[in-house]
């Protein structure tokens, strides 16, 4: 992200206020020119703590938006399989905003009423065509938990929680292919990945063994054994790098018993990466995000909104918690309630606009972080589909 530079002093030794202002202003497009994809699950709803499959579902789809202006400008929608199950990182959008990869962990089971079964496909969407359209469907070795694009734009990783493996994808002649399936320790349950800014390393959360692997990356593939393994908290799942700062955050999901869960701050800049702080945030952090400038992290907490109403700790609302990152520590800064059954949370690249998804209310809530205050901004509401995951183009 461009930095503010102080202009040279005048002969009086002062800096003209107008010069200071102009030197620090950045074009709006430089901060906000991103494509956001919202994955909409059209078949699932929650009734008193139980997930049901709708008798007359609407097609799963991804809705795309240009975040340059407020409200965000719709770009188009494409019908592809979506699933609320797994971390809310099942959409990956290329840096040039021309392509999206979309996975779905499960689908409705055609042989059993009101039941899910594994889905084994990934869709490729051409965002540059008019209208947008799915141009390829890959069949994978196992159900895909999430998808993450490598910074080179030619490789992607798809973890398979149930198969203890990661599929490595490569783009060849405008088509994506599975070039390798890398196995991990039995029971490790890889679920989400994130690449360092230079693409030389990756973090991979392994909730089955309660660890996070720090892996070298060679020709797009994970190199085993891992360079190092980190211990953060119970059930490390969703994770997010803080731009190119070398920091990252991970959500430690726990067991949905009402006990307070945590997120952890990881520093990858030393000889070995390590967890440098862990903060209590609330119950069930389904999604976690870190601002590109490395100054804030956010967690979307389901907050017992997914348990039956008779449960003594039931809540109808989810919570968004924003934490400041200061001197290697996490400090709770602001929080806000939003709709139940939270999913993804994210920052735009201005590092101050934060959004959170509610399945129950079929809405994406948007806030502006002003100091220690979250100010509501215009969000998104949907019919015939609930926001279950998202993808945001990087730089």
Kindly state the average pLDDT of the residues 343-369: 97
Q: Between residues 35 and 3, which one has the greater pLDDT?
A: 35
Examine the pLDDT at 383 and tell me if it is beyond 50: yes
C-beta neighbour count of 10 within 10 angstroms: 10
Kindly state the average pLDDT of the residues 72-98: 97
Instruction: Give pLDDT tens digits for 151-198.
Output: 999 999 999 999 999 999 999 999 999 999 999 999 999 999 999 999
Residue 70: its pLDDT value, please?
Answer: 86
Q: Is residue 59 part of a domain?
A: yes
Helical (H) or strand (E) element with 346: strand 342-347
Band (pLDDT 50/70/90 cuts) for residue 5 is: very low
Tell me what the pLDDT averaged over the chain comes to.
92
Tokens 């909730």 found at = 207
Q: Which two tokens stand for residue 138?
A: 């890959």
Instruction: Give pLDDT tens digits for 9-51.
Output: 333 333 333 333 333 333 333 455 799 999 999 999 999 999 9
Kindly state the average pLDDT of the residues 83-96: 96
Examine the pLDDT at 88 and tell me if it is beyond 80: yes
Examine the pLDDT at 200 and tell me if it is beyond 80: yes
Structurally, the chain folds into a number of domains equal to 1
Per cent of the chain over pLDDT 70 is 92
Band (pLDDT 50/70/90 cuts) for residue 394 is: confident
Rounded-to-integer distance, Cα 177 and Cα 88, Å? 23
Kindly state the average pLDDT of the residues 137-162: 97
Residue 223: its pLDDT value, please?
Answer: 98
Q: Which of 217, 124, 122 is nearest to 174 (CA)?
A: 124
Q: Is residue 237 part of a domain?
A: yes
Q: Which residues are CB-contacts of 382 (< 8 A; sequence separation ≥ 6)?
A: 38, 40, 63, 362, 363
Q: Which of 121, 41, 57, 8 is nearest to 344 (CA)?
A: 41
Q: Is residue 317 part of a domain?
A: yes
For residue 217, the enclosing domain spans 27-392
Q: Is residue 185 part of a domain?
A: yes
Are 332 and 310 a contacting pair, CB within 8 Å? no
Q: Is residue 330 part of a domain?
A: yes
Query: Among the listed ranges 18-22, 63-67, 376-380, which one has the minimum average pLDDT value?
Result: 18-22
Q: Which of 339, 262, 346 is nearest to 305 (CA)?
A: 339
Instruction: Give pLDDT tens digits for 261-282.
Output: 999 999 999 999 999 999 999 9
Kindly state the average pLDDT of the residues 302-325: 97
Residue 9: its pLDDT value, please?
Answer: 34
Residue 395: its pLDDT value, please?
Answer: 65
Band (pLDDT 50/70/90 cuts) for residue 8 is: very low
Kindly report the length of the chain.
Answer: 395
Q: Is residue 13 part of a domain?
A: no
Band (pLDDT 50/70/90 cuts) for residue 350 is: very high
Kindly state the average pLDDT of the residues 63-73: 94
Q: Is residue 94 part of a domain?
A: yes
Q: Is residue 22 part of a domain?
A: no
Read off the CATH number of the domain in which 99 is found.
2.130.10.10
Per cent of the chain over pLDDT 90 is 89
């Amino acid at each position: 992200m461009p930095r503010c530079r102080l202009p040279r002093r005048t002969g009086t030794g002062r800096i003209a206020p107008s010069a200071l202002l102009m030197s620090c202003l950045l074009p709006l497009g430089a901060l906000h020119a991103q494509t956001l994809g919202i994955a909409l699950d059209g078949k699932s709803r929650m009734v008193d703590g139980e997930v049901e499959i709708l008798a007359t579902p609407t097609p799963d789809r991804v809705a795309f938006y240009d975040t340059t202006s407020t409200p965000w400008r719709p770009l188009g929608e494409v019908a592809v399989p979506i699933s609320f199950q797994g971390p809310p990182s099942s959409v990956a959008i290329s840096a040039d905003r021309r392509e999206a990869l979309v996975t779905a962990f499960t689908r409705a089971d055609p042989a059993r009423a009101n039941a899910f079964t594994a889905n084994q496909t990934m869709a490729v969407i051409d965002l540059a065509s008019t209208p947008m359209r799915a141009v390829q469907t890959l069949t994978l070795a196992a159900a895909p938990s999430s998808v993450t694009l490598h910074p080179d734009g030619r490789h992607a990783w798809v973890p398979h929680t149930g198969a203890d493996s990661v599929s490595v994808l490569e783009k060849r002649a405008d088509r994506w292919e599975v070039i390798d399936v890398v196995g991990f320790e039995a029971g490790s349950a890889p679920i989400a990945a994130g690449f360092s800014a230079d693409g030389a390393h990756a973090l991979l959360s392994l909730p089955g063994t309660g660890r996070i692997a720090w892996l070298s990356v060679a020709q797009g593939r994970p190199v085993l054994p891992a360079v190092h393994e980190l211990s953060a908290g119970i059930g490390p799942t969703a994770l997010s790098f803080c731009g190119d700062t070398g920091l990252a955050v991970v959500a430690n999901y726990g067991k949905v018993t009402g006990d307070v869960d945590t997120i952890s701050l990881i520093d990858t800049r030393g000889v070995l990466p390590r967890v440098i702080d862990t903060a209590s945030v609330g119950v069930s952090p389904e999604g976690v995000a870190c601002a590109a400038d490395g100054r804030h992290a956010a967690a979307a907490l389901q907050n017992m909104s997914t348990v039956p109403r008779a449960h003594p700790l039931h809540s109808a609302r989810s919570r968004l918690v924003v934490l400041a990152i200061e001197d290697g520590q996490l400090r709770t800064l602001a929080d806000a309630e939003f709709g139940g059954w939270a999913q993804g949370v994210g920052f735009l690249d201005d590092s101050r606009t934060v959004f959170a998804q509610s399945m129950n209310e079929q809405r994406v809530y948007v806030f502006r972080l002003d100091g220690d205050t979250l100010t509501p901004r215009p969000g998104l509401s949907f019919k015939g589909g609930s926001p279950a995951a998202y993808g945001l183009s990087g730089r």
